[in-house]
Amino acid sequence: MKIGVFDSGLGGLTVVKELAALIKGADIYYVADTKHAPYGEKTSEQIIQYSLNITQYLIDTHRIEALIVACNTATSAAIKHLREHYPSLIILGTEPGIKPAIQCTKTKNIGVLATPATLKGEKYQQLVSALSAQAHEKINLFEQACPGLVEQIERGDIQSPKTKEMLHAWLKPMLQNHVDTIVLGCTHYPLVGPLIEEIMHHKVRLIETGGAIAKHLLCQSEAKGHINEGPLRIFLYVTGEIQTQMIDHIIKQHEPLKKIDIDNQK
Ligand code: DGL
């Protein structure tokens, strides 16, 4: 099986890590679109165009059979368009794990950290209203957009004083309001998970969705005949700059990184 995965940068590698723990006998082609990062501060039209270009590249060059949009922001803006353009491709997106958070919380106070574009998006608003209507008890959501956090992570500043200061300010209302569960609504944020736990005095459960995506992909691909045996190879492509030591911090084994130019492909 050939699987395409993309994100604006390092974040989607947190999903690749979960895929690598479950999927066998496959090649993963990962595109980090750092030339256009951060997606969370771009318009929907721009995000749709980047997503379509990357998918076309993955189909033309690597003949992918499945696509993982390992980015909440791109899922929110572009998944509908991707499904319309590529109806025969298995396409899985990434959405903030509000549902598992509702199942986990005891205090009924849930934090949501995401990019400005994800929180503003119609898809997120619909998810929240559908789940709140189904919930048996009233749930309080503490939503927080985190502009600038993706850039800190891309720089490898996952423990720097500035990153700590930003997170302290964003998490303060959650700490004061007994939030016991925080949804990491951006695939970059698990990389600052240890820092979030420290600021929340280790009294919080962090929800990320990479593991669920991996299970979902395995299920869908086995239904189409994939046999989950044999080696897994991970090929990495970047459209701009990337911190290679961060890549190695997230995934241990991969093929050498290559730079690509998707904007000027024919
Ligand atoms: N990793 C991304 C997400 O899940 C995108 C971050 C960004 O580029 O703003 O939303």
> Which of helix, strand or coil describes residue 5?
strand
**Mean pLDDT, the chain, whole residue set:** 96
The whole-number pLDDT of residue 136 equals: 83
Can you give the pTM of this predicted structure? 0.96
Q: What is the arrangement of strands in the sheet containing 232-238, beginning at the earlier edge strand? A: 90-92, 66-69, 2-7, 26-32, 232-238, 258-259
The whole-number pLDDT of residue 171 equals: 98
What are the chain's domains?
A: 2-94+210-259 (3.40.50.1860), 98-207 (3.40.50.1860)
Q: What is the pLDDT of residues 8-32, one digit of tens each?
A: 999 999 999 999 999 999 999 999 9
> Which of helix, strand or coil describes residue 27?
strand
**% of the chain exceeding 90 in pLDDT:** 95
- Average pLDDT on 55-65 reads 98
Ligand 1 atom nearest to 40, measured from its CA: 9
The whole-number pLDDT of residue 208 equals: 97
The whole-number pLDDT of residue 135 equals: 82
Buried b (16+ CB within 10 A) or exposed e, 31-57: bbbbbbbbbbbbebeebbbbbebbbeb
Q: Give the range among 104-108, 123-127, 262-266 with minimum mean pLDDT.
A: 262-266
The closest of 244, 37, 40 to 54, measured between CA atoms, is: 37
* Local structure of residue 179 (DSSP, 8 states): -
Ligand 1 atom nearest to 71, measured from its CA: 4
* pLDDT of 266 strictly over 80: no
If you measure from the C-alpha of residue 225 to the centroid of ligand 1, how many angstroms do you get, rounded to a whole number? Answer: 32
Q: What is the pLDDT of residues 155-168, one digit of tens each?
A: 999 999 999 999 99
The answer to whether the beta carbons of residues 197 and 175 sit under 8 Å apart is: no
Q: How many helices (H) and strands (E) does the chain have?
A: 11, 10
* pLDDT of 132 strictly over 90: no
* pLDDT of 217 strictly over 90: yes
H/E stretch holding 62: helix 44-62
Residue to mutate (ligand 1; options 120, 184, 187; most atoms within 8 A of CB): 187
Between CA 132 and CA 229 the distance in angstroms is 40
